[in-house]
Amino acid sequence: MPTGWFTLRTTCSLPAHREYTLQRDSAGIRSARGGRLVPAATAGAIPPGRGREYDQGVASPTVDAPAAGESPPGPGASAEAFAGKVFAALLGALETQAIYLGDKLGYYRALDDHGALTAPALASITGTHPRYAREWLEHQAVNGYVLVDEPRAAPDARQYTLTEGAAAVLARDSDLTYMAPFASLAAATASHLDALVHAYRTGGGVSWKQLGDDAREGQGAANKPLYLGPLVNEYIPSLGAIHERLSAGAAVADIGCGTGWSSIAMATRYPASTIDGYDIDEASIEQARRNARASGNPTNLGFHLGDAAEAGQDGHYDLVCAFECIHDMPDPVSVLATMRRMAKPGGTVMIMDEKVAEAFTAPGDDTERLMYGFSILCCLPDGMSHQPSVGTGTVMRPSTLEAYGRSAGFDGLEVLPLDNDFFRFYRLILPEG
């Protein structure tokens, strides 16, 4: 997935500093979401379009499937059961598009700010047509997203209320449960279904740039609460030596920084450190700079458009990180090799990526279903849009990342003991000497 998602905390923890081994070697590919991030590596043993085949034969899945959500129909299920599943998916698709309207038109924020509103009042506040506002409010009420005070009142006299729980999920962009941006991501992919059909038939792709503002802005907004909150207030402080180094003053490279919230969070939390965000997507860097200005314009923060490999910063950084972007890159080995070179001796290379199961299993739990959904519509087409491509997709398992890392010159990886429903944090092990 592109850089972004709400995060709900759980009580189950990852195995501390668990090390994975893979009895295979692999070599170079190419790089970068939306374009090249680093020069091409030498051709190697992971052939283009075959990235996930390197996840086979590993440990059992980290979760039992199916999980807490409604179980998919089994092989012997009736046509009626499958029809029920498809009907539920249809309802969900329609509700997601309604959430997109509510977010983009400012309806959820207006309801949160002003309390109970009639359709004409909501339309007046948001500058929209009252007939559309009324239909949207009625849709939200019948689907359980808002409360209506008196259903039998005249249509324009009914008052609608967004509850506290709904407001946290749909209106408050700093809350960890904020999910409205996912509707923007869904809209971005839905508006390019014709291009996706063509890509599936030809082996081409649909790039991050093609997906446009909805994808970029939705991605950034979805991850913003995680970066400004747990990342710098819980996760990095729990890592001990890394936290101490950043507190004392360190150089940090944020590769594939997107709209910049991870870089902004680290610059704000660690004012003695210098943070450099790198991305090859011009619109993302422009948005990152706007976000930085809106966040007080930290003087220890810089955003750089272009290949990190061309920055001339080999051996410069105490921490080199990449948050939720390695799986999008057509040439992850070259990207990781650049990250290895950028790190100082004794430095740290840290990757955050999706917390998928350790091995393929079907049916999968809700997280696996979500990640495959993003993969078929966004991440794999993005990675395939720049050839040659290894074709990883969202479902990058730990063994796959380790294969890439070893090909890039690392000695392996460890899973860091950081607790998150949707992401794993890895430290790639730098070679000694």
* 19 pLDDT above the threshold of 60: no
Nearest alpha-carbon partner for 139 in 91, 171, 189, 180: 91
Mean pLDDT of the chain: 86
pTM for the full predicted model: 0.84
Q: Choose the CATH number for 90-167 among 2.40.50.1020, 1.10.530.10, 1.10.10.10, 3.40.50.300.
A: 1.10.10.10
Q: Decide: 229 and 11 in contact? Cβ < 8 Å.
A: no
DSSP string spanning 189-241?
A: HHTTHHHHHHHHHHT----HHHHHHHHHHHHHHHHHHHIIIIIIIIITGGGTH
DSSP 28: B
Residue 31 vs residues 34, 101, 314: alpha-carbon distances, Å? 9, 35, 18
Name the percent of the chain lying above pLDDT 70. 83
Q: How many CB atoms are closer than 10 A to CB 366?
A: 15
Write out pLDDT tens, residues 399-425.
Answer: 999 999 999 999 999 999 999 999 999
* 4 pLDDT above the threshold of 80: no
Residue 333 vs residues 23, 256, 282, 325, 406: alpha-carbon distances, Å? 17, 14, 23, 13, 9
Give residue limits of the domains in the chain. 90-167, 182-428
Name the percent of the chain lying above pLDDT 90. 80
Nearest alpha-carbon partner for 415 in 424, 402, 407: 424
Backbone φ and ψ of 390, nearest 5°: -75, -20
Write out pLDDT tens, residues 119-169.
Answer: 999 999 999 999 999 999 999 999 999 999 999 999 999 999 999 999 999
Between residues 76 and 1, the one the model is more confident about: 76
Q: Decide: 412 and 19 in contact? Cβ < 8 Å.
A: yes
Tell me the two tokens of residue 188: 């971005």
Distance, in Å, from the CA atom of 3 to the CA atom of 258, rounded to the nearest integer, reads 7
Write out pLDDT tens, residues 347-375.
Answer: 999 999 999 999 999 999 999 999 999 99
Write out pLDDT tens, residues 42-57.
Answer: 333 344 444 443 343 3
Between residues 23 and 214, the one the model is more confident about: 214
Helix, strand and coil in the chain, % to nearest 5:
45, 10, 40
Amino acid identity of residue 25, one-letter, is D
- pLDDT-derived band of residue 71, with 50, 70 and 90 as boundaries? low
What would the CATH number be for the domain defined by 182-428? Answer: 3.40.50.150
- pLDDT-derived band of residue 310, with 50, 70 and 90 as boundaries? confident
Query: What's the CA angle centered on 290, arms 287 and 296, to 5 degrees?
Result: 140
DSSP 310: G
Nearest alpha-carbon partner for 253 in 331, 335, 353, 355: 335
The pairing of beta strand 343-354 with beta strand 413-415: unpaired
DSSP string spanning 68-100?
A: SSPPPP-TT--HHHHHHHHHHHHHHHHHHHHHH
* 266 pLDDT above the threshold of 80: yes
Q: Decide: 370 and 74 in contact? Cβ < 8 Å.
A: no
Write out pLDDT tens, residues 222-264.
Answer: 999 999 999 999 999 999 999 999 999 999 999 999 999 999 9
**Helix, strand, or coil (residue 269):** helix
Name beta bridge partners: 428.
349, 413
- pLDDT-derived band of residue 75, with 50, 70 and 90 as boundaries? low
Sole residue written with tokens 């959500």: 69
Q: How many CB atoms are closer than 10 A to CB 175?
A: 15
Amino acid identity of residue 269, one-letter, is R
